[in-house]
């Protein structure tokens, strides 16, 4: 009856709990981007010449490119000379050799964030790599994983210890000149995670990376590369937070996944970068390129993302279905509140025969948030028997938010079967009153409805992440009965 109700508003006004700043000394390069800066990043990391040349090539391409203008987002132009491209927590001597040598202040930060680094890691059975500003600070469980021949380390370490793997796969899924932000990342990336699962190995635990932007004016440009060799299986999780700051901060990451014959990679993200305040001041620009390559027959790549943070999200985790009988999946929950903007979705490119893909997207818009689903399903002329199912649902909370859907379907093989379903619904004042009349608070009622809406995506998340995602959306566990 009356426009937006008080309970909804109160629910939407909650503060960002991860918005603290950690007092740490940082070793940072001055602001700005040039060949010189790239050379210094490469030098600081002690990289081989080929990698420096690779970065410089990316930089030269980037100089010729312009930012994409097609997304349903708006923000003032970014001054790329006003960003710090390298910032690392200062160490006393060399890099820490074990967790005991890591700055306790840093460990406390991760504790506050609920990252299970120490004993908690063992209890939870999650191997964690944590990237703070630009460098990776700790990788747990290295030894146990090593016994299976699994490599799980920071990208910098991988460059030193497994250069042949890095060189063989880097940029083969997302080339240097793929897009404006990927090119920038290729030029300046400072760290990230690297995973290699050898032939026939099933990774015995969930691998996990936590990213945190701490320093002011710093961009975070991490690069993640995951390779699952023939018949290998891995599940990888990433979580992200940042302190509250009034300026916008840029996060332009690249993630490349390679699945060889019969391999399976499951990649889950819970993204909670600082979204800016309720008037849209500050927040992270999350411009990310994520792509998986089902290179071998019967390979399987699955993306699951829960995106609740960032002022602007621009990402389209995609799968190239090259191998025959390969499978690509994308499950997404994207929530925008206040003045957040999200333009996200997926691309499924069918090239092999009998390839299958699924896209399930749940967009929740609240406050003045704008939520856009953008999808591409392409069936190439060789992809006989390709199948896709896309479902794209939008939930509106309040009266001032927006939801958009831009699906694109290109089919060039007559045997293809492509399905697309879309719905839009709104949480109504009558639903809240009904639930409250049964003794639930408005907050519980909203959570329950949102949780019910996201059910199909949450069930794809590994258990510990599902819990975190539910908490993030302020929800209690749906489906515990029946």
Partner 1 sequence: MLDIRNLHASVDGKPILRGLDLHVGTGEVHAIMGPNGSGKSTLAQVLAGRDSFTVEDGSVSWDGVDLLAMPTEERARAGLFLAFQYPVEIPGVSNAYFLKAAVNAVRRHRGEPEYDAMDFLKRVKAEMKAVGMREEFLYRSVNEGFSGGEKKRNEVLQMALLEPRLAILDETDSGLDIDALRTVADGVNRLRSPERSMIVITHYQRLLDYIVPDHVHVLSRGRIVRSGGRELAHELEERGYGWIDEAQATPAAQGAAS
Query: Nearest distance from residue 14's CB to partner 1, in Å?
Result: 18
Q: Are 13 and 366 in contact (CB under 8 A)?
A: no
Q: Is 431 in the site for partner 1 (CB under 8 A)?
A: yes
Provide the 10 A C-beta neighbour count for residue 25: 11
Q: Are 193 and 129 in contact (CB under 8 A)?
A: yes
Distance of alpha carbon 341 from alpha carbon 368, whole angstroms:
9
- Closest CB to partner 1 among residues 428, 462: 428
- Closest CB to partner 1 among residues 170, 364: 364
Distance of alpha carbon 359 from alpha carbon 356, whole angstroms:
10
Query: Nearest distance from residue 5's CB to partner 1, in Å?
Result: 7
Binder among 142, 165, 436, 474 for partner 1 (CB under 8 A): 436
Span near partner 1 by CB under 8 A; candidates 80-88, 101-109, 401-409, 450-458? 450-458
Q: Is 9 in the site for partner 1 (CB under 8 A)?
A: no
Query: Nearest distance from residue 440's CB to partner 1, in Å?
Result: 6
Q: Is 474 in the site for partner 1 (CB under 8 A)?
A: no
- Closest CB to partner 1 among residues 65, 436: 436
Query: Nearest distance from residue 373's CB to partner 1, in Å?
Result: 18
Q: Is 429 in the site for partner 1 (CB under 8 A)?
A: yes
Distance of alpha carbon 434 from alpha carbon 151, whole angstroms:
53
Q: Is 430 in the site for partner 1 (CB under 8 A)?
A: yes
Q: 264-301 in b/e burial notation, b at 16+ Cβ within 10 A?
A: bbbbbbbbbbbbbbeebebbbbbbbbbbbbbbbbbbbb
Residues 6+ apart with CB under 8 A from 370: 72, 73, 336, 340, 341, 342, 401, 402, 403, 404
Q: Is 391 in the site for partner 1 (CB under 8 A)?
A: no
Could you say which residues in the range 96-125 bind partner 1, by CB under 8 A?
none
Using CA atoms of 140, 145, 149, 150 in order, give the dihedral in degrees to the nearest 10: -60
Query: Nearest distance from residue 471's CB to partner 1, in Å?
Result: 17
- Closest CB to partner 1 among residues 138, 475: 475
Query: What letter would DSSP give residue 222?
Result: B
Query: Nearest distance from residue 480's CB to partner 1, in Å?
Result: 6
Q: Is 381 in the site for partner 1 (CB under 8 A)?
A: no
Binder among 2, 64, 66, 98 for partner 1 (CB under 8 A): 2
Distance of alpha carbon 127 from alpha carbon 109, whole angstroms:
18
- Closest CB to partner 1 among residues 240, 473: 473
Token reading at 37: 């800066």
Q: Is 158 helix (H, G, I), strand (E, B) or coil?
A: helix
Q: Is 455 in the site for partner 1 (CB under 8 A)?
A: yes
Q: Is 452 in the site for partner 1 (CB under 8 A)?
A: yes
- Closest CB to partner 1 among residues 69, 482: 482
- Closest CB to partner 1 among residues 6, 97: 6
Residue of 273, 39, 257, 83 lying closest to 181 (CA atoms): 83
Q: Is 438 in the site for partner 1 (CB under 8 A)?
A: yes
Distance of alpha carbon 115 from alpha carbon 130, whole angstroms:
9
Q: Is 424 in the site for partner 1 (CB under 8 A)?
A: no
Binding site for partner 1 (CB under 8 A): 1-2, 5-6, 425, 428-431, 433-442, 444, 448-449, 451-453, 455, 476, 478-482
């Amino acid at each position: 009856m009356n426009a937006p109700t008080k309970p909804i508003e109160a629910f939407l006004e909650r503060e960002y709990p991860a918005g603290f700043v950690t007092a740490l000394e940082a070793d940072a390069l001055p602001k700005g981007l040039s060949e010189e800066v790239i050379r210094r990043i490469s030098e600081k990391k002690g990289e081989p010449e080929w990698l420096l040349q690779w970065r410089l090539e990316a930089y030269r391409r980037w100089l010729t490119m312009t930012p994409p203008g097609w997304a349903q987002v708006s923000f003032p132009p970014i001054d790329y000379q006003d960003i710090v491209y390298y910032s690392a927590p200062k160490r006393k001597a060399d890099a820490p050799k074990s967790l005991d040598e890591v700055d306790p202040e840093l460990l406390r930060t991760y504790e506050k964030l609920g990252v299970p680094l120490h004993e908690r890691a063992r209890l939870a059975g999650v191997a964690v790599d944590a990237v703070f500003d630009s460098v990776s600070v700790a990788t747990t469980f290295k030894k146990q994983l090593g016994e299976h021949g699994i490599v799980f380390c920071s990208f910098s370490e991988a460059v030193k210890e497994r250069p042949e793997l890095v060189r063989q796969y880097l940029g083969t899924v997302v080339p240097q000149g793929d897009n404006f932000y990927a090119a920038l990342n290729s030029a300046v990336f400072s760290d990230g995670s690297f995973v290699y699962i050898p032939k026939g190995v099933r990774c015995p635990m969930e691998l996990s990376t936590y990213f945190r932007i701490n320093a002011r004016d710093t961009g975070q440009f991490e690069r993640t590369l995951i390779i699952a060799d023939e018949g290998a299986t891995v599940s990888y999780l990433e979580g992200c937070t940042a302190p509250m700051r009034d300026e916008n901060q840029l996060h332009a990451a690249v993630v490349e996944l390679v699945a060889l014959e019969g391999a399976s990679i499951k990649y889950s993200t819970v993204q909670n970068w600082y979204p800016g305040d309720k008037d849209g001041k500050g927040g992270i620009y999350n411009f990310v390129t994520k792509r998986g390559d089902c290179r071998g027959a019967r390979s399987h790549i699955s993306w699951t993302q829960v995106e609740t943070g960032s002022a602007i999200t621009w990402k389209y985790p995609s799968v190239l279905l090259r191998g025959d009988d390969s499978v690509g999946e994308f499950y997404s929950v994207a929530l925008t509140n206040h003045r957040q903007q999200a333009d996200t979705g997926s691309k499924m490119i069918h090239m092999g025969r009998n390839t299958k893909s699924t896209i399930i997207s749940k967009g929740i818009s609240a406050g003045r948030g704008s939520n856009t689903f953008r999808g591409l399903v392409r069936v190439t002329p060789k992809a006989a028997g390709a199948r896709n199912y896309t479902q794209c649902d939008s939930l509106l909370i309040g009266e001032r938010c927006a939801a958009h859907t831009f699906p694109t379907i290109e089919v060039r093989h007559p045997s293809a079967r492509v399905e697309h379903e879309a719905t839009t619904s709104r949480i109504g004042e009558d639903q809240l009153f009904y639930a409250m009349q049964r003794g639930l608070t408005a907050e519980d009622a909203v959570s329950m409805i949102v949780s019910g809406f996201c059910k199909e995506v949450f069930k794809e998340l590994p258990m510990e992440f599902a819990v975190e995602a539910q908490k993030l959306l302020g929800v209690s566990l749906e489906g515990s009965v029946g």
